[in-house]
Amino acid sequence: MPRLVAIDRPGGPEFVRELQSIWDAGDAAFPVDQRLPGHAKAELCTAMRVGDEVDAGDALVVATSGSTGTPKGVVLTHEAIVASAAATTKRLGVREDDHWLACLPLSHVGGLSVVTRSLLSGTRLTVHSGFDADAVMTSGATLVSLVSTALGRIDPSVFRTIVLGGSRPPADRPANTVTTYGMTETGSGVVYDGRPLDGVDVDIDPVGEIRLRGPMLLRCYRDGVDPRDRDGWFPTGDLGVWLGDGRLHVAGRSSDLIITGGENVWPEAVEAALRTHDAVADVMVRGVADDEWGQLVEAIVVAAPGSEPTLDSLRGHVKEQHPAHMAPKRLRVVDAIPRTALGKPIRTS
């Protein structure tokens, strides 16, 4: 009977060989996050039931980020990862002489999908144990998957195409970048530059939630729960709209929406305004409970060197671009913004 086997090693050729060996034996692989201490790795492996049986055809179990609770194990079949590899390879126009670089954490689907895509398509592959700007720049690769924070640390012109996932891309992103929308449950990105991959259906329900359907979606979670409805739709928890040119715009997580005094505020819009303030090096915006307003807009700011941002200054700056209800009513200055491995801000307090 096939079982779940953990891969507890850093990125590199040995990781790839071990993954292939697990598949050749008919088992499924669970990549363990190398940044976790030993006891946390053991707890996670127990939660994912490493060593226990899996269904025939299961290829991977990938832990969700767990930024809002205990990580879930997403079960992806061989059929799903083949479908994902085929659709992404076609959309990106991958050529025989291309060369993929995997430098994101392999415990997350954004990094792992580069490896599986290369194995299934036969594309040349280099795998790093983590992101190092100098190593990335000298890798010789033509294709790479990055997050926005990593993009800002390299010369993007050395790559033919850069796939951008994770946090929202910069407004001035280079022309050779492709933005992706997806999640662990979809086996990596399924919407590229606002347009679904071949075979992917996108729907926005009456309350604005994005639903996805396609052959690359998960089979179930490790506990056996299938989050899809009987027609195969997966509710993402994200809100979105269709733009006039037919592209999908993702407004953000429904749980991130701030409702203050009856007005809706999306954190990303306020963050974008605050990033243009001279005293702000980095920022995260979230809602905090308040008896009078329901929620207050709170700005958590990393100050630019030599600067001391003030609430009045930040409020005035936001009000130059947005209605007054979007301006923060609370300011907290920190040394660093808490983020997931893929650069997404962790808005929970």
- Mark whether 210 and 159 lie in a shared domain: yes
Task: Look at the chain and report how many structural domains it folds into.
Answer: 2
Residue ending a domain, among 191, 221, 251, is 251
- Mark whether 23 and 130 lie in a shared domain: yes
Give the residue-averaged pLDDT of 30-44: 92
> Does 349 fall in a domain?
no
The confidence band for 8, taking pLDDT boundaries of 50, 70 and 90, is very high
Torsion angle in degrees (nearest 10) through CA of 8, 52, 4, 110: -80
Please return the burial class of 225, using the count of CB atoms within 10 Å of its CB with bins 0-12, 13-18 and 19+: exposed
- Mark whether 165 and 297 lie in a shared domain: no
Which residues span the domain enclosing 310? 257-333
> Does 209 fall in a domain?
yes
Q: Which residue from 219, 203, 220, 199 is spatially nearest to 211, judged by alpha carbons?
A: 203
Residue with the bigger pLDDT between 204 and 339: it is 204
The confidence band for 193, taking pLDDT boundaries of 50, 70 and 90, is very high
Amino acid 170 reads P
Amino acid 310 reads T
Give the residue-averaged pLDDT of 241-261: 90
The confidence band for 46, taking pLDDT boundaries of 50, 70 and 90, is very high
> Does 346 fall in a domain?
no
- Predicted confidence at residue 65, as pLDDT, reads 62
> Does 345 fall in a domain?
no
- Mark whether 218 and 267 lie in a shared domain: no
> Does 322 fall in a domain?
yes
> Does 143 fall in a domain?
yes
- Mark whether 210 and 224 lie in a shared domain: yes
* Each residue's pLDDT tens digit, 77-122: 999 999 999 999 999 999 999 999 999 999 999 999 999 999 999 9
- Mark whether 196 and 165 lie in a shared domain: yes
- Predicted confidence at residue 67, as pLDDT, reads 41
* Each residue's pLDDT tens digit, 138-151: 999 999 999 888 89
- Mark whether 304 and 168 lie in a shared domain: no
Report the CATH number at residue 213: 3.40.50.12780
HEC letters along the chain:
CCEEEEECCCCCHHHHHHHHHHHHCCCEEEECCCCCCHHHHHHHHHHCCCCCECCCCEEEEEECCCCCCCCCEEEEEHHHHHHHHHHHHHHHCCCCCCEEEECCCCCCHHHHHHHHHHHHHCCEEEECCCCCHHHHHCCCCCEEEEEHHHHCCCCHHHCCEEEEECCCCCCCCCCCEEEEEEEHHHCEEEEECCEECCCCEEEECCCCEEEEECCCCCCEECCCCCCCCCCCCEEEEEEEEECCCCCEEEEEEHHHCEEECCEEECHHHHHHHHCCCCCEEEEEEEEEEECCCEEEEEEEEEECCCCCCCHHHHHHHHHCCCCHHHCCCEEEECCCCCECCCCCECCCC
- Mark whether 217 and 285 lie in a shared domain: no
- Mark whether 57 and 179 lie in a shared domain: yes
Residue ending a domain, among 189, 222, 251, is 251
- Mark whether 154 and 213 lie in a shared domain: yes
> Does 348 fall in a domain?
no
- Mark whether 242 and 283 lie in a shared domain: no
* Each residue's pLDDT tens digit, 148-162: 888 989 999 999 999
* Each residue's pLDDT tens digit, 211-247: 999 999 999 999 999 999 999 999 999 999 999 999 9
> Does 70 fall in a domain?
yes
Name the pTM for this structure. 0.82
Q: Is the pLDDT of residue 348 over 80?
A: no
- Mark whether 69 and 197 lie in a shared domain: yes
The confidence band for 66, taking pLDDT boundaries of 50, 70 and 90, is very low
Report the CATH number at residue 269: 3.30.300.30
Q: Is the pLDDT of residue 69 over 70?
A: no
Give the residue-averaged pLDDT of 166-176: 82
- Predicted confidence at residue 167, as pLDDT, reads 67
